[in-house]
Amino acid sequence: MHPSPATPRRAAPIPLPPYTPGRGMLATIKIVLFAVCLIPALRLATAFLGDGLGPNPIEELQKALGFWTLTFLWITLAVTPLRQLTGQHWLVRLRRMLGLFAFFYGCLHFANWLGLDMGFDTELILDDLTERPFAVLGFVTLLLMAPLAATSSNRAIKLLGGKRWQALHRLVYAVAILGMAHYLWGVKKIALTTPLIFAALLVVLLGYRAWDRARRYTPAGRGEAPGEMPRVVPTVTVQPVRFMERPK
């Protein structure tokens, strides 16, 4: 949201242009963020190898990796509301990395199940996939994340074209909802505290988008001329330059 001056008491403050880190600064931020995103994986790896996960390490690892998958997915989904509400539009340039880390933890979660939990035993795996609907749901969720990860490069964006790329990447909403269902389904009905916190956050993250979209459709909202075609894609994020041109 751009700062809109409320009734000024003194002189109207001149709105500052939104902060944009320079090239070098952005690179530094990215490197630091990358290291931070790796911390859970490194901590889990050392705990697993060092006997720090208790008597049932494979299950603990599975739970933790699932937790981090959803956490990174939620952080990814928080970028758009955050940048709109704070005006820090450069945040979107971190989103790709966050999304890829969600996929990375999802892949580790899947690999742990396949390798350490099931021991690559086809029979056990087929049993699970036929008798554990929530496992199937998790698998489908990961499959839906794969095309998003695969098309995360600049080249893929160019190849697909902004509009199509963006349409494809709206799959992330399906991924989040299915991932949430996988989590809720997989836990005991009485151990729902953490899953319900995740669910509440997801409602906020998706609810913000619904609200944002609804107000753009209202002629009175956000200064769009009555009768003007509402923008199908309210937040253009493909080309870093374009989001600066949002109508005020």
Partner 1 sequence: MLIRRPADVLPSEITSPATFARRRELLAALGLGAAGAALSGLGLPGRALAASVERGGNGFPPVAKAAPGSPWFSDEALTPKSTITSYGNFYEYGVDKTDPGKYAPGLLKTRPWTVAVEGEVLKPRTFAIDDLLKLAPLEERIYRLRCVEGWSMVVPWVGFPLAELIKKVEPTGNAKFVEFVTLADPVQMPGVRSPLLDWPYVEGLRLDEARHPLTLLGLGLYGEALPAQNGAPVRLVVPWKYGFKSAKSIVKIRFVREQPTSTWTRAAPSEYGFYSNVNPEVAHPRWSQKSERRLGEFRRRPTLPFNGYADQVASLYAGMDLKKNF
Identified binder of partner 1 from the candidate list 55, 223, 226, 227, rule CB under 8 A = 55
Contact window for partner 1 (CB under 8 A) among 132-140, 161-169, 211-219, 231-239:
132-140
Q: Which one among 47, 67, 93, 132 touches partner 1, defined by CB under 8 A? A: 132
Residue 93 tokens, joined: 């340039």
Cα dihedral 133, 137, 139, 143, rounded to 10, equals 150
Sign of the CA dihedral 26, 237, 179, 105?
negative
- Based on the shown chain and the rule CB under 8 A, indicate whether residue 24 belongs to the binding site for partner 1: no
For residue 116, the Cα-to-chain-centroid distance in whole angstroms is 27
The interface region with partner 1, picked from 48-56, 71-79, 95-103, 214-222 by CB under 8 A, is 48-56
Give the contacts of 83 (CB within 8 A, at least 6 positions apart).
89, 90, 91, 92
Smallest distance from the beta carbon of 119 to partner 1, in angstroms? Answer: 5
Phi, psi of 6, rounded to the nearest 5 degrees: -75, 175
| Residue placing its CB nearer to partner 1 in the complex, 191 or 225 | 191
Q: Report the residue number, 46 or 56, with the smaller CB distance to partner 1.
A: 56
CB nearer to partner 1: give 10 or 189: 189
Task: Decide: is 186 part of the binding site for partner 1 (CB under 8 A).
Answer: yes
Which residue do the tokens 């509402």 mark?
230
Selected binder of partner 1 within 31, 124, 156, 214 (CB under 8 A): 124
- Min CB(58)–partner 1 separation in Å: 7
DSSP string, 1-41: ------S-SSSPPPPPPPP---HHHHHHHHHHHHHHHHHHH
Asked if residues 99 and 32 have their Cβ atoms less than 8 Å apart, the reply is no
CB within 8 Å of 41: residues ≥ 6 apart: 68, 104, 105, 108
In the DSSP assignment, the letter for residue 231 is P
Residues of this chain, 59-118, that bind partner 1 according to CB under 8 A: 59, 116-118
Name the one range near partner 1 by CB under 8 A: 15-23, 38-46, 120-128, 225-233. Answer: 120-128
Please report how the helices 133-150 and 171-186 are oriented relative to each other, as an axis angle in degrees rounded to 10: 150
The least distance separating partner 1 from the CB of residue 49, rounded to whole angstroms, comes to 13
Task: Kindly indicate which of the ranges 34-42, 51-59, 149-157, 166-174 contains the residues binding partner 1, using the contact rule CB under 8 A.
Answer: 51-59
* Contact residues for 96 (Cβ-Cβ < 8 A; gap 6+): 152
Pick 48 or 173: Cβ nearer partner 1:
48
Nearest distance in Å: CB 189, partner 1: 6
Chain residues in the site for partner 1 (CB under 8 A): 54-56, 58-59, 116-119, 121, 124, 127-128, 131-135, 185-186, 188-191
